[in-house]
Amino acid sequence: MRRVLCTAVLTAVVVVQVQPVCAAGYQFASIDYPGANLGTWAYGINNLGQIVGYALGCCTYFSTASVNSTPNLIGLPTPYGFVYQQGAFTNTPIPVPPSSINDFGTIVGTRGAKSSSKGWVDSGGIYTDVAVENAAATILSGIDDSGLMVGSWNEPMTDPPVSHGFFGFSASGPFYNLDYPGALTSALRGVNNLGAVVGVYTREAGGPSYGYFYLGGVFGSTGPGVEINCINDAFAFAGSFSIAGVNHGFVSANGQTIVVDFPGARSTVVSGINNAGTLVGTYTDVGGTPHGFVDVLTP
């Protein structure tokens, strides 16, 4: 049975037919940080093929009060932020999740508890926190080569929760909201070098997500159950959609949308795309462990 996935170009909303098959013309490869037995996540890729991601290994142990003279050891997962290129991992200076890297090697990401998180920018190993004024939490999701950053921020103490997409050029601001019209929550996820941004929004509390685009004053929206995470300079965009609670990746380019499911995976999410059409993301295996992946477009 065919599924209908509603996608949007930058000037109109169109409906396309999606075949529920793995992406033809792509070659998949797993990305697993050495020793990270709890999972590896790949989030972004630049045009040099550098991939940023996050991993967790078990475990770092420390002692608490002894019980009957026996030390009580507690194990916590060991986190790793990384840049991956041509089979080699380089750790980021601090072990927090990076989300995007531009062609100059500037990395953005988010750290801290979800309810009180802050964004951060790493430029040449120098970290700067990013926090929208009066926000309960700030999330940084993307950066282009000019330094334009996109993300989302949460209003404090709202019921239902309210969030806004935003963009800005400097870690110190100013920051500007960019919400899908009429949305309850909005979050920008990606940006290309031509000023197009993509993200996700909801219309009501507990309702489905929708992907959205913005370029030059024009909005476009997908149908329900879709999230758009990234866009390249050819306006190819990618993300995930859900059917019966299962996530599937997708990429849409040149008027064609295809499903991107890692072979044998329980679920797949595409998080990044570069100008060569190379995709990165995360799949979950049948045992429930996350793995990063890179998906190279082959001739």
pLDDT at 292: 98
Mean pLDDT score of the chain:
88
Give the percent of the chain with pLDDT over 70: 86
Query: What does the pLDDT look like over 229-241, one tens digit per residue?
Result: 999 999 999 999 9
Go through the domains of the chain in sequence order and give each one's CATH number.
3-60+76-297 (2.120.10.30)
Q: What is the mean pLDDT of residues 201-209?
A: 95
Q: How far is CA 265 from the centre of its chain?
A: 19
Give the percent of the chain with pLDDT over 90: 77
pLDDT at 13: 33
For residue 286, the one-letter residue type is V
The angle at the Cα of 244, spanning 282 to 7, to the nearest 5 degrees, equals 70
Residue 3 pLDDT greater than 90, yes or no:
no
pLDDT at 267: 97
Residue 18 CA neighbour count, 13 Å, CB half: 27
CA dihedral over 220, 222, 228, 230, signed as positive or negative: negative
Q: Among 27-36, 74-83, 107-116, 187-196, where is mean pLDDT lowest?
A: 74-83
pLDDT at 252: 94
Query: What does the pLDDT look like over 22-69, one tens digit per residue?
Result: 445 678 999 999 999 999 999 999 999 999 999 999 876 655 555 555
d(CA 42, CA 249): 13
pLDDT at 72: 57
d(CA 52, CA 108): 10
pLDDT at 2: 26
